[in-house]
Chain A
Amino acid sequence: MSIKKEFLKGLVEKNPVMVLGIGLCPALAVTTSVSNALWMMIATTFVLTCSNVLVSLVKDYIPSHIRIPVFITIIAAFVTVVEITLKAYQPEVYTSLGIFIPLIVVNCIILGRAEEFASRNGVFISIIDALGMGIGFGLTLTILAFFRETLGANKLFGYTLIPGFKPAGMMAIAPGAFITLGLMLWAMNRIMVSRKHKK
């Protein structure tokens, strides 16, 4: 019961992008294509899980006033692991995600979960939390990327969707990202409100 709850909360009720409003920079920047969004999800979830595990393991040995630098160091290490690995085995993903791979370090989701959850809970439940949060983050990115790739480039996974349709190029660049996310948040708010009314 509790495991299910901890996992699901990251998807909906505490969705990092849609509800907590964190991790926005990658959400806006890398969602030009669904495959970018999925790779971002994998990279972030990996870092999140690893850092959550390590933080919950060492939490008792760290003096509380230096915990933030320690957490950052741990996170930065895992980010670099991801960076190097992608560079070696997925060079195309490495180029298209670009600067946003090192910037996973400053994604507030990761530091936030380390601080708020992993440093207070056991290893197993921390993994569940990380997976839930990572997938919740990734899911939002994927939906956003779906709209942006289909409308902005008439493509899905790099392949043309409807021949002859002229895509709105704006969706593929920054303004499209902002506006689409804004409209998604609006839709989300409406759904949440009508749900509350039903309850």
Chain B
Amino acid sequence: MFNPSFKGGVHPPENKKLTEERSIENLSVPHTCFVPVQQHIGKPAIPVVQVGDYVQVGQLIAKADGFISSNIHASIPGKIASITNGPTPASASGLRIQIETHGNFASEKTPDKIEWDKLPPKDLLEKVFDAGIAGMGGASFPTHVKLSPPSNVKIDVLIINAAECEPYLTVDDALIKRSYKEIIEGIMITRTILGVKNVIIGVESNKKRSYKTIKEYLKKIGEKNIKIPMLKTKYPQGAEKQLIYSLTHRTVPSGGLPMEVGTVVQNIGTCFAIQQAVCYGTPLFERLVTVSGSLINKPGNYKIRIGTTIADIIRECGGLKEQPHKIVMGGPMCGQAVETTDIPIVKGTSGLLFLSKEESSAGRYANCIRCGRCVQACPINLLPFEIAANIEISRPECTERFSPLDCIQCGACSFICPSRRPVSHFVKVAQDYIRSKR
């Protein structure tokens, strides 16, 4: 009842039942992969292979361009078939490295685990950078950047985001159930890199089993500095600033970064990737994806190679019951609807949903009835309906006093609106207008 939480938020129907109990399955390796060079926030990586080259799994194929960028690795062994533009999650036409399967998988041997606690933090950070890890929660911010705060900033808490507040998605849950030991190790590595002592893991109250698993394991290994309070189930509990507030009651200033209040937030999937990269030198070339929605025949939590196209995944998951109304990459609340099934999975793809019209269509929207639900739901305390009203009558210049730039695009307002108004879309328009004017 009194689980820690933030103000506002909504309770979307969870729809996690579809995949909650499914353990992680490996999806068969596709014949062809399209690996985009832009899978993270920052500059796109620069390809370091030529068409016709043969690559091994985990081989570097594109190099980070500068500090805020990430390395890209081959996800399947084979031949570089092309380096051309095509649809990617980031844009309708982005540079993709096409790899066609060639050669064998036998070389994929698990190397021996290294003893990371003997290495200095700088080397650990180097390994994270080499592995090309970017945040697995969705925003895909290069992890090594987050882990190297400026020297004048004092970080005292590391927050691990396992809230997974989006409906349908169960990847974090499934990962915890299977690899909680690795995750805790990853957390410890991250803690060492940052040089902080205290860690807080945020898990929503609807994932009781995962919560128990971690809690018991922590007790067993006698770790006292990692706390795991149970969060109230509420969307957007996993949004960075909301999570920080729920767990520490610190308020990240508007337009500011978590480190300004002495915190760093890492997704739980990222911790797992860090552990893999540091202990085994495995770069990030595959990830867990929840494939769900009412129209897919075999929903589940799959381990999928980066670059696998949606079309391949549909085939591997038993095909579709009928043509979906929408295909969404990510969660239904702030994920992205895609136009074609040619789009590949990237590092930040946590879910792939095949939604029917009943599940996802808003239909025509009606007048705002000023019920104030968007105001109650907004975790940032904005007045979304006012912004929407002004945009609707083409007065974007009047929206500035309602600070649309503070909006985190969580979509709670659109979700809750009884008039079915695309409120967060209107807010986005206002944001674009104000940004373009500056």
A and B touch in the complex (CB under 8 A): no
Binding site for B on A (CB under 8 A): none
Binding site for A on B (CB under 8 A): none
